[in-house]
Structure 1
């Protein structure tokens, strides 16, 4: 159950973390912001007497970021320059793996996330919650006034799309904390885009997610890295997480959607061949043939994408075979129900046909999922 951590007014009691805290900050061309974020973290470190390290996970910015950290003189701050598998989310995952201390915090370098809230996040973790979000959307949270309706709407829609994965009010936040022991229990992280917190919540199966209100400030230095391309990556990331959490239900849904697209392809091909004044039998066969090919290609690319590196011709033969058996199942079930159970009316005929279609579709899906496009390796 998601909970909102208390944000009582007044100064916080000093929180000592004897075992230490690792703050991971992914960066790309953030050299101008580095001195400011380090100064605020240092003030917090001294005030709260924190044992910590700051890891800047930099995607080879080559903008003076290395020099900015060296000139700070803080021996608890270091930078790791990444030249492969670049991107915000992979940078955070690599940073968590390289962290030395048992408490992990992720935050942005652009000063949009207030480091002064970290003690509250640690307090929430110590109370037994598994994952703590610095949230804009719980009572007490806010954003700068110049966000604008389109940016606000984009954030809200993205949050709504993530609702099947978590009931947290701000799972899009890049400001969060968790225990390294919980993070290390899993090794299947493969995030794309910038919503790494949602990846960790889903893959770790966190249910006890707390949210601490923050004020989200707009950056002063540098440029935002959020682009339309990154938003498209978010949709792709959601698809991966849906499949991870809901498994066969998501595969079946994609299979049905592809099947529906095949109907459109079939009818469009039929209409085109009729315009060419070909015999009706040829037109019908052409529509079926083209739709079978497109269904196979789409299922291979999307529904069963984990198997698309294998021999395409062998898979196509298996797909056609499974589809043929599926049609036989469809026909046999419909005839049996019509003859044995359903009334001899037009309504009964349509009902028998619908049940037959459903049976054939499920048979097709199971045949393709576990035979034609089966996974080669199964985790014990």
Structure 2
């Protein structure tokens, strides 16, 4: 769980996540909260949260902040063979975790919850939500055109991965572009990947890290476009 200023709901999210996984019959549950030294003390609330039959650990990062760096530290600290990560603001509903785990149990190595396949969608409410919806759909359409059109949600960030895949394909990037990079590389390497539908929900509390106006999205989009171009060249010259 990569966090920054999620104090308003981190305790509820931890409990909801553990309960969702427990309903699958899994007994050994590990929750790792990786926090970028949040001013609202998300790390402190998470440290004081307990759940029956779950090992909850908190990593408070004092430097090298950022989404991808946080994910990489959490992954390296995990002790289980199946690793799941998602946005920690309830936009990614914990009740959608069991379907990820089920498909992993069926032999898939990478399973992604997708907004853009039949049955999926987005409940966009609040400031900047309409802009975010339009730009997100447009961005994914463009990425699909230049990369693999059979994959629908290149900016999902709601995923389950077998550890061996992450050893072979480590995360690269800074923010959301890491997901585009990772998905393209696992597809190029012919790993068994599948997408499942889910409904993205409004943020429970706090402010979006992506931003809420068109300038923020365009700034992020530049990195995404650069990543797509780089990946095309890497594949063309056998550098993936």
Q: TM-score range by the shorter chain?
A: 0.7 to 0.9
Shift in Å, 1:31: 1.1
Match in the other structure for 2:136: 155
Q: Output the CA distance in 2 between the equivalents of 1:71 and 1:170.
A: 35
2:82 to 93, 100, 103: 103
3-state DSSP of counterpart to 1:48:
coil
> Scaled by the length of structure 2, what TM-score is found?
0.83
CA contact (8 A) 2:69 2:174 kept: yes
2:118 to 132, 139, 145: 139
CA contact (8 A) 2:113 2:195 kept: yes
Match in the other structure for 1:247: 234
> Scaled by the length of structure 1, what TM-score is found?
0.54
Q: Report matched runs for 1:46-195 at 5 Å.
A: 46-50=22-26, 51-74=28-51, 76-144=55-123, 146=125, 148-163=129-144, 164-167=146-149, 168-187=151-170, 189-195=171-177
In terms of fraction of residues, the more strand-rich structure is 2
Q: Output the CA distance in 2 between the equivalents of 1:245 and 1:211.
A: 22
Matched, 1:43 2:19: yes
1:328-371: CA deviations, max 9, x gaps?
Answer: xxxxxxxxxxxxxxxxxxxxxxxxxxxxxxxxxxxxxxxxxxxx
Shift in Å, 1:63: 1.7
Judged with a 3 Å threshold, the aligned counterparts in structure 2 of structure 1 residues 229 and 84 are, in CA distance, closer, same or farther, namely farther
Judged with a 3 Å threshold, the aligned counterparts in structure 2 of structure 1 residues 108 and 183 are, in CA distance, closer, same or farther, namely same
Judged with a 3 Å threshold, the aligned counterparts in structure 2 of structure 1 residues 83 and 117 are, in CA distance, closer, same or farther, namely same
Q: Which moved more, 1:50-59 or 1:62-71?
A: 62-71
Matched, 1:29 2:29: no
3-state DSSP of counterpart to 2:125:
helix
Judged with a 3 Å threshold, the aligned counterparts in structure 2 of structure 1 residues 180 and 149 are, in CA distance, closer, same or farther, namely same
Shift in Å, 1:248: 8.6
Q: Output the CA distance in 1 between the equivalents of 2:37 and 2:234.
A: 36
CA contact (8 A) 2:11 2:49 kept: yes
Match in the other structure for 2:210: 226
Q: Output the CA distance in 1 between the equivalents of 2:124 and 2:62.
A: 37
CA contact (8 A) 1:142 1:214 kept: yes
Which structure 2 segments of 5+ residues have no match?
none
Q: Output the CA distance in 1 between the equivalents of 2:76 and 2:86.
A: 16
3-state DSSP of counterpart to 2:194:
strand
Over aligned residue pairs, what C-alpha RMSD do you find? 2.4
Which structure 1 segments of 5+ residues have no match?
1-24, 251-378
CA contact (8 A) 1:92 1:196 kept: no
Q: Return the structure number with greater relative CO, CA threshold 8 A, min gap 6.
A: 2
Q: Output the CA distance in 2 between the equivalents of 1:48 and 1:129.
A: 17
Q: Output the CA distance in 2 between the equivalents of 1:206 and 1:85.
A: 30
